[in-house]
Amino acid sequence: MNKIECKSIYKSFVINNDVLNVLSDINLDIVQGEKIAITGMSGAGKSSFLHILAGLDKPTSGNIFFNNTNIAKLNNVSLSNIRLNNFGFVYQFHHLLEDLTIEENIYMPAYLNNSLDKSKKYKAKEIMKTLNIYERKNHLPWKLSGGEKQRAAIGRALINEPRFLFLDEPTGNLDESNSVIIQDLIMELSNKHGIALIAATHDNKFVGSFEKIYKLVNSKMSILNE
pLDDT at 103: 94
pLDDT, tens only, 4-42 = 999 999 999 888 888 788 899 999 999 999 999 999 888
> Containing H/E element for 66?
strand 61-66
In a domain, 184, yes or no: yes
In a domain, 209, yes or no: yes
| For range 187-193, the mean pLDDT | 87
Residue 203 has pLDDT above 70, yes or no: yes
In a domain, 130, yes or no: no
As to burial, measured by CB atoms within 10 angstroms (0-12 exposed, 13-18 middle, 19+ buried), residue 29 is exposed
**Which domain, by its residues, includes 77?**
3-93+143-223
In a domain, 109, yes or no: no
Residue 226 has pLDDT above 70, yes or no: no
pLDDT at 215: 92
The rounded radius of gyration (Å) of the Cα atoms in the chain is 17
Residue 173 has pLDDT above 80, yes or no: no
Q: Using a cut of 0.85, tell me whether the model's pTM lies above it.
A: yes
In a domain, 127, yes or no: no
Mean pLDDT in the chain? 88
pLDDT at 132: 86
In a domain, 122, yes or no: no
Question: What CATH number does the domain containing 68 carry?
Answer: 3.40.50.300
User: Looking at 13-27, 53-67, 130-144, 164-178, which range is the least confident one?
Assistant: 164-178
As to burial, measured by CB atoms within 10 angstroms (0-12 exposed, 13-18 middle, 19+ buried), residue 115 is middle
Inter-residue contact 24 to 8 (CB < 8 Å) = no
The structural domain count of the chain equals 1
In a domain, 56, yes or no: yes
In a domain, 125, yes or no: no
